[in-house]
Amino acid sequence: MALISLGIDHQNASLDLLERVTVPEHEWSKILRTLMSQRNVHEAVFVSTCLRTEVVAVIDRFHGAIDEITETLADATNLGADEFKDKLTVHFDRGVATHLFSVASGLKSVVPGEFEILGQLRRALELAQEEHTAGPELTEIFHRALATGRRVRAETSIARGTTSFAQAAVAMALEELGDEAGDARVVVVGAGQLATGVVKSLLSTSAPIVNLTIVNRTHERAIALANDANDARVDVADFSTLHSQVRGARLAIVAVETPSPLLSLVDLDRSTAPLLIVDLGVPRAIASDVDALTGVRRVDISDLRERIERVLDERHEAADAAIEIVVADVEKYLDDQRARGAAAIVSELREYFDEIVATELARRENELGELSEEQRERIRSLVRSVVAKIAHRPTVLLKEAAGTDQGIRLNEATRALFDL
């Protein structure tokens, strides 16, 4: 069996495609169950965020698993496999560890070093464990990746300054507003992890936000977020008033998962004051036709990505240090895997030889009846010593070659020769 990761991310796909392949979290369990029903998939973790949809799995046949995972993604997103097949990124065995550790470290995020990805990966693993689709191999590699992600943020400056997608979005919005930011009335749509980060970032900014209204489908979650903020500038509005709340705002930041746009040109055509809308939804929560409205400016994740890419030079040194940690941790993980793999086959081989010795001695017990107990023990010791010497060279080779192509061949040959 082998490890594989297969997915679509912001580095290789357009925002339009990412929108179409994003899967809401309440559907992840169904995808995991479908993956586990496939012939070549033995363990699976699935994660789908605004900029990444990915499967990490333990598999049998490589090409068979690729086809099965691709078919599962196509069914879950109602897309034909041909629509995204050439955009898929595939990692195999060692490459999976390097990829996953890099993702957890924030090296493959729009905002290098951002923290949200750690929570997203942790939640993906927890759900897979709840659905019993993550076995020991995926559980370990995810735990090791998360540990590396925490280490990178603790030991490098990659997370200095803007460290989250939410912070980057708020910084972009306030830069767009300029001098108007201080007197802006702000609406935040959503109450999840991203929206929570947006609210906290807005309230902690140097711009004195006058009023911040939280609007969310589930009113109780909006109230909980407002209570957590514990700021007199924050209030909550019912979701039914969404259109009027946004029309009356200077800035609206939308951070929700929605299968179809919440607002369009028709909903905002009565806006009289200037309005900046930051749409962090994937799929988009604001219809692109609002761009036709005078006074309304809409920016989305693609704008945010372009802006961040212009300032990445500041973090090159920190990114290099983070890469060194990832490389070292991946090597340590692979060494541990090799050691465990060698230990398993060596243990089985020794048990096989011990069983032969025990069986043969028991079978010949009657033939040794005239010997004293001391003489019998000498014979037993001699047989065990001979067998141990015969087994010594194979066990040394198995340990030394563990994790290499030669080791894989020796492992398979040993199992075939001794029927392990």
Kindly report, residue by residue over 269-280, the tens digit of the pLDDT. Answer: 776 678 999 998
- What are the tokens at 268? 């905002």
The confidence score (pLDDT) of residue 132 equals 95
The pLDDT of 194-207, averaged and rounded, is: 85
Angle at which helices 373-401 and 316-363 pack, to 10 degrees?
A: 150
Same-domain status, 99 and 171: no
pLDDT tier at 212, thresholds 50, 70, 90: very high
- Are 53 and 194 in the same domain? no
Q: Is the confidence at residue 93, as pLDDT, over 60?
A: yes
pLDDT for residue 98: 95
* Tens of pLDDT, residues 55-64: 999 998 899 9
- DSSP per position, 398-420: HHHHTTSHHHHHHHHHHHHHHT-
Beta strands of 231-305 (E only): which ranges? 234-237, 251-254, 275-279, 296-300
Mean pLDDT of 400-407: 70
Q: Do both 171 and 115 map to the same domain?
A: no
Distance CA 211, CA 185 (A): 5
- Domain span including residue 283: 165-306
Contact 212, 186 (CB under 8 A): yes
Q: What is the CATH number of the domain that holds 71?
A: 3.30.460.30
Residues 8 and 146 in one domain: yes
Whether 152 and 184 map to the same domain: the answer is no
Please determine, for residue 163, whether its predicted confidence score (pLDDT) is greater than 60: no
Averaged pLDDT, 401-407: 70
* Long-range contacts of the stretch 245-248 (C-beta < 8 A, 24+): 245/187, 245/213, 245/215, 246/187, 246/189, 246/275, 246/277, 247/271, 247/275, 248/185, 248/273
Query: Stretch 338-353: mean pLDDT, rounded?
Result: 77
238 vs 189: CA distance, rounded Å: 11
Whether residue 315 lies inside any domain: the answer is no
Res 304: pLDDT: 76
pLDDT in tens, 219-231: 999 999 999 999 9
Higher pLDDT: 397 or 7? It is: 7
- What is the total count of domains within the chain? 3
215 and 155: one domain? Answer: no
Answer with the residue of higher pLDDT: 89 or 394.
89
Instruction: Please tell me the predicted confidence (pLDDT) of residue 311.
Output: 54
Whether 256 maps to a domain, the answer reads yes
Question: Which strand ranges, in their side-by-side order, compose the sheet holding 89-92?
Answer: 41-49, 52-59, 2-9, 89-92
Give me the chain's average pLDDT, please.
86
Residue type, 40: N
Q: Do 129 and 171 belong to one domain?
A: no
Measured distance CA(26)–CA(44) in Å, rounded: 17
Same domain, 152 and 172: no
Q: Do 229 and 257 fall into the same domain?
A: yes
Instruction: Give the three-class secondary structure for 215.
Output: strand
Tell whether 213 and 279 lie within a shared domain. Answer: yes
Per-residue confidence (pLDDT) for residue 310, from 0 to 100: 60
341: pLDDT strictly greater than 70: no
Nearest to 147 by CA among 118, 126, 108: 118
Per residue in 251-300, pLDDT tens?
A: 999 988 788 889 888 888 776 678 999 998 877 888 888 888 888 999 88
Residue 315 pLDDT? 62
269 and 150 in a single domain? The answer is no
The answer to whether residue 326 sits within a structural domain is no
50 in active site: yes
CB 50 within 8 A of CB 258: no
Asked whether residue 162 carries a pLDDT value surpassing 60, the answer given is no
Which of 287, 306, 325 is a domain's end point?
Answer: 306
- pTM (2 decimals)? 0.65
User: Residue 241 and residue 244: Cα distance in Å, rounded?
Assistant: 6
Paired tokens of 194: 């991203």
CA 78 to chain centre: 22
Question: How many distinct helices (H) and strands (E) make up the chain?
Answer: 16, 10
Same-domain status, 156 and 301: no
- Which three-class secondary structure string do you get for 254-271? ECCCCCCCCECHHHHCCC
Return the structure tokens found at 239. Answer: 């979701």
- For position 253, what pLDDT does the model report? 94
225: tokens are 């977020």
Max Cα separation, the chain?
110
Q: Tell me the pLDDT tens digit for each residue of 122-151.
A: 999 999 999 999 999 999 999 999 999 999
Sorting pLDDT into bands at 50, 70 and 90, what band is 30? very high
Catalytic residue among 50, 134, 159, 268: 50
The answer to whether residue 313 sits within a structural domain is no
